[in-house]
Amino acid sequence: MRRFGRIGLVIAASLLAASCSAGSGSTTATKGVVTISNENGALWTCDFSPFNGSDTLLSVGFVYEPLVYVNPLQNGKTTPMLATSWTWGAGDKSITFTIRKNVKFSDGSALTPADVVYTFNLLKKYAALDLTGVWSVLSSVTQTSSDQVTMAFKTAAVPYFYYIADETPIVPEHIWSKIANPVTYPDTNPVGTGPYEVNPCAKANITYTANPHYWQPGEPHIAKVEYPAYTSNTTANDQLQNGQAQWGSQYIPGIKPFYTAKSSNFHYWFPPTVNVSLVPNLKNSLLSNVKVRQAMSYAIDRSKVSTIGESGYEPPANQAGIVTPTFSSWLDSSQLASDGGYAYNPAKAKQLLASAGFKMGSDGVMANAQGQKLAFTVINIGDYSDWVASMQVITQDLQAVGIALTPANLTNTDFDADLYYGKYQLAYYDQQTFGPAPYYELRNWLDSADTAPIGSVAATNYERYSNPATDSLINQYAATTSTAMQHSIVDQLQQVMLTDVPIIPVVEAVDWYQYDTANITGWPTPGNPYAQPSAFAYPDMEQVLLHLKPR
Amino acid sequence: MSMPISAVPATVDQPGQQPGSTGAGRSRAPGTRVLARMGQAVRSNRKATVGTALLALFVLVSLFPGVIAHDNPGADAYAPRLGLTTAHLLGTTAQGQDMFAQLVWGTRTVMIIAFVVGLAATGIAVLIGVAAAYLGGLWDGSLSVLTDVLLVIPLFPLLIIIAGYAHGASTLVLIVVITLTSWSYTARQLRSQALSLRGRDFLEAARVRGERRLYIIVVELIPTMTSLIVAAFLTNALYAVLFASSLQYIGLGNPNTQSWGTMLYWAQNEAALQTGQPMWALAPGACIAALGASFALLNYAFDEIGNPALRPVRRTRGKPAR
Amino acid sequence: MRFALRRLGFFVLTLWAAVTLNFLLPRLMPGNPALAMMSKFHGELGPGALKALDILFGVNTHKSLPAQYFSYLHQIATGNFGTSLDFYPASVTSIIGSAIWWTLGLVGITTILAFALGTGLGIVAAWRRGGRLDSIMPPVFVITSAVPYFWVGMVLVLIFGISLHWLPSQGGYYVSTDTPGLTLTYFEDVLSHAILPAISLLVTTIGTWILTMRNTMITTLAEDYVRMARAKGLPGRRIMIDYAARNAILPNLTGFAMSLGFVVSGAILIEYVFNYPGVGSMLLQAVQGEDYPLMQALFLLITVAVLLAILVADIATALLDPRTRTAG
């Protein structure tokens, strides 16, 4: 009995000590350290290959750098990085980069144009490493002078500048040329020109420390970046809420009471990037009817989807397909307005359906003369609770005009399979990539080169839209560096979106981003959107890290 | 006088405490008499009274949800995340649904699960338990091994992986899966009791009269076990509610169902606790606890009635035993 | 000896049943979940990993079901549970190895604590029949036994984590500020994170131990040998512990083992509420990520753990109580 008492006392004492230290230890962070809170869903593998899709966000921007930084949030505004300047060649079919001098890799050796040539030819040799498909348009990459690299294209490929200059990390030849199989190379000890080195990596946390050889004088100001592996959203948000992490990059439910109300230093900004759309299968006999699609677009109360389904975080989209305010300068608002803007209008929706020969049935569902009912199954990703909630709103909206939706909440795997192979009626989805102009998203949805017959995998044009006139517009854009010309083409693509309604944009997906200004300044803000602000956006996070300063 | 009911876990098959050994069987107690005695117990035993009242309340709510809650539980009709007001007794969800309406309408799904699983699992338990005991020999051996194996395999992890393969479970799938996996505990109890009744005179008498086996089991044997069967139903219903709600809570149910577990799932998803909406999570959890408690209280009360030694000692008896 | 062999036989049988369930479930499910999983990860997996998955889930195979079954049994027997898909290329066993200590620490210690504490309280309650403890406890714990484990966790998170800020309520330690190692700060960190989940488990499981112990103790107190001891005028405490409790605890020990399954189940949800980095959270994560190899292995691990506990308790009971041995 007595022995038990002793043990009990010891446990009680240590519990007390622990709870006290927990109370005091959980407050502010050390100066000059930024802790990132970005839920990864798994522990780190400590692999840093810049050409492995699941590791890029941990290496590109921290350790590896691109030639040029292209800011998608400022219409592709460029910042020279490893290239100091570039010029387009004749007919926009080649480009020459001048490579920066006095840049060193973190092992102390110098960066040369040969490293750039080596990197691009590495992607040519191992297609698996070519994540953005630059060699689908490149024909050669060669060193043309002591500090210049020239790239030749098979066809005019102006939009590919983004992938070549911004999305391709440059690796040191003296290390990568000795690797037997670069495809499976884990790159556990990455050597690059970027501002940070991995030092060290553990399954639960990666610590990045400043690269002493970094080429920008005085940078980086933040001596250390901690990147813990959060397996759940709740834990990651919890760390933001108590100030243990300063840079957040995920969904926080009820962000005002949860986060910003906790401290005046806590802020968030969710810049929109791409449309989340109701995607009709255009091979479906009822959904191929443009009036049905137009009616759907009129029947959805996009503001309500935004406030109810997305807690107001994701703004309502427009039928023109231009994400605002990110690409507001591209929006042809007069054209959008002339069509009534597809603003919420259930009466107009019913009228359109009536004009297409649909009559309301006794069950509240419209049907045509052949008795075909406007009743569809809509596939959705069950794990995205905001999308599930959004679909409840959309279902109620469409029900009101006589279109019956049955949501099928699938797993990611099943959803992708159904979507890619075209085995669905309606889907709720967004494009997974984002570019520095609205063209990139519109091309993904509308280019017939990116589609496939039902039963085969479509690359990005899942609704199976195909129109030679639209294809030619898309190809013209690829062949011009003239801004005026580009705008005129995007205006015409908006016209396609408004008349053909190939997809129905509902809300705009955003980058999740929360930041704590207590000890750190220089964060990207709506007033100074110098980079995509999420920690998972590469190579943008390098720009953020270079702007941050301890207070 | 009456039968002991071993409903509290771990009192099954205790040495020296044979269920059904106290004589109720001897006097051929028919099921109706047992039920009548239970009715009387409900009035006299405070735990039973509370349990019955709670259960009756939930049954009423599940039968007439529209009388109590006027809102459509699924409609996104209001502003999201409203606080507690007279219009919205529990506030609204992040999707602008009235939480009180969700709680009230959700009762129906939960009660359906509780009663269907309770009845079905008890049915299986009676079938297997009584068959094993009465048929004996190889039948008993194999059915008992089946029961024991299922008894020790951790059920909840099993349910989780089944729901995982099924990509989430609708209410029907929940009912089927929980029924098929959760009968073993009560089957074991029923077997023990049936075993102890096997050699009794009234069964012998029926056999001598030349009754068929099935007749003896259904008409003679099972009615004498009524109180244990009711206890088994209560146990199974309790676990059905807990298992189904837990699976829905962790997102393995259908998120569009109106149910307490689904409410908890959304509350977790929308960080209800951290965003000043604790009722979103507390209210459905409290309902699960209250419904569970009503089953548990009834069960325990019947146990007390059956085993007088467990009854609370009244002060009038003087000083506690020493 | 015969008893021990019988129990061992039952252990093996149940283990076989669990393994077989693992084999059959993915093959019986409609819509072939394993096939969907394979298509998701194809191209990312090496040939060795693919072969292991073929055997585990029976996709891309033309072998008959019995043939599949034997290669499956063989693979499980050699301890090869395949490669995790979400944590590729880590093997399932290595991933579980990192999580299991958290669960063993939290659930193991708390369960033993709950059993010891609950049994003690049960003894006292039965001994002081009609006392304050005895009259309050049964109804209270009947009710708590019906409360969902996770809900108790939620309430504790709300009170001590969110409202009062006394204790951390998420995770196993502060991943961003602390490094695992043999330091005092890390120890305190881990301990402070374990308090709330441990209390949740304790509160929800202790009732069962108290009630069962109280009830068996009351039965035992009515036995002749206890009356005899009283008549002999032995000191009360001695009768309570050496005569009554010692005999009453035996059936409880079996109950302890049997209820472990429920404790493990409840612990899964506790870990989920607190995002505790143990096998319970991992199981749910594996389910959500469709990481079927990890899911299978975890289910088997949990089953084996419960079976082992039952085996140990059975043998302990047999050693302590000669009656069981002969009865077996």
Whether residue C260 is predicted with pLDDT greater than 80 in this model: the reply is no
B17 CB neighbours in chain C (<8 A) are: 219
Burial class (CB in 10 A: 0-12, 13-18, 19+), C156: buried
Last residue in a domain, options A123, A145, A176: A176
A367 in the same domain as A326: yes
Helix, strand, coil share of chain A (percent; to 5): 35, 20, 45
User: From B313, which residue of chain C is nearest by alpha-carbon distance?
Assistant: C130
CB distance from A237 to chain B under 8 Å?
A: yes
A367 in the same domain as A296: yes
Closest Cα partner for A443 from A321, A317, A316, A279?
A321
pLDDT at B312: 65
C259 CB neighbours in chain B (<8 A) are: 9-10
Whether residue C60 is predicted with pLDDT greater than 70 in this model: the reply is no
A365 in the same domain as A339: yes
A17 in the same domain as A100: no
Is A350 among the domain residues?
yes
Q: How far is C120 from chain A (nearest CA, A)?
A: 11
pLDDT at C46: 59
More confident residue, B193 or A83: A83
A301 in the same domain as A417: yes
Whether residue C9 is predicted with pLDDT greater than 50 in this model: the reply is yes
Is A182 among the domain residues?
no
pLDDT digits (tens, 9 = 90+) for B256-284: 889 999 999 999 888 888 888 899 999 99
Closest Cα partner for C141 from C125, C157, C163?
C125
pLDDT at A30: 46
CB distance from A306 to chain B under 8 Å?
A: no
pLDDT at A287: 96
Residue contact C236–B293, C-beta within 8 A: no
Overall domain count for chain B: 1
Last residue in a domain, options A119, A149, A176: A176
pLDDT at B20: 34
A110 in the same domain as A75: yes
Whether residue C140 is predicted with pLDDT greater than 60 in this model: the reply is yes
> Which of C147, C310, C327 faces B152 most closely, judged by CB atoms?
C310
pLDDT at C261: 67
A474 in the same domain as A351: yes
Q: What is the ipTM of this complex?
A: 0.86
What's the CATH code of the domain at A144? 3.90.76.10
Last residue in a domain, options A118, A141, A176: A176
Q: How far is B86 from chain C (nearest CA, A)?
A: 24
Residue contact C177–A411, C-beta within 8 A: no
Pairs across A and C, CB distance < 8 A: 98
In chain A, pLDDT over 90 holds for what percent of residues?
A: 71
Q: How far is C41 from chain A (nearest CA, A)?
A: 10
Q: How far is B80 from chain A (nearest CA, A)?
A: 7
Residue contact C295–B161, C-beta within 8 A: yes
Residue contact B273–C157, C-beta within 8 A: yes
Is A6 among the domain residues?
no
pLDDT at C231: 84
Instruction: Write out residues in chain A with pLDDT < 70, as ranges.
Output: 1-31, 339
Whether residue B6 is predicted with pLDDT greater than 60 in this model: the reply is no
A138 in the same domain as A230: no
pLDDT at A259: 93
Average pLDDT over residues C205-230: 83
Is A188 among the domain residues?
no
What's the CATH code of the domain at B193? 1.10.3720.10
User: From C161, which residue of chain B is nearest by alpha-carbon distance?
Assistant: B274
Is B60 among the domain residues?
yes
Average pLDDT over residues C160-171: 85
A199 in the same domain as A147: no
In terms of DSSP bridges, do strands A359-360 and A148-153 run parallel, antiparallel, or are they unpaired?
unpaired
Coil, strand or helix at A422: coil
* A100/A81 Cα distance (integer angstroms): 8
pLDDT digits (tens, 9 = 90+) for A216-245: 998 899 999 999 988 778 888 888 988 889
A241 CB neighbours in chain B (<8 A) are: 274
Least confident of A516-520, B234-238, C140-144: C140-144
A232 CB neighbours in chain C (<8 A) are: 275, 281, 285
pLDDT at B2: 28
A41 in the same domain as A168: no
pLDDT at B320: 37
> Which of C130, C265, C298 faces B155 most closely, judged by CB atoms?
C265
Average pLDDT over residues C300-307: 87
Is A506 among the domain residues?
yes
A351 in the same domain as A229: no
Structural domain range at position A322 = 273-510
Average pLDDT over residues B103-117: 95
More confident residue, A195 or C325: A195
Structural domain range at position B79 = 37-310
What's the CATH code of the domain at A458? 3.10.105.10
pLDDT at C61: 63
Residue contact B161–C306, C-beta within 8 A: no
Coil, strand or helix at B56: helix
Mean pLDDT of chain C: 80
Is B298 among the domain residues?
yes
Overall domain count for chain A: 3
Is B153 among the domain residues?
yes
Average pLDDT over residues B243-247: 94
Q: What CATH code would you report for C93-327? A: 1.10.3720.10
Is B6 among the domain residues?
no
Mean pLDDT of chain B: 81
AA letter at C302: I
In chain B, pLDDT over 90 holds for what percent of residues?
A: 37
A99 in the same domain as A36: no
pLDDT at C43: 52
**Structural domain spans, chain C:** 2-78, 93-327
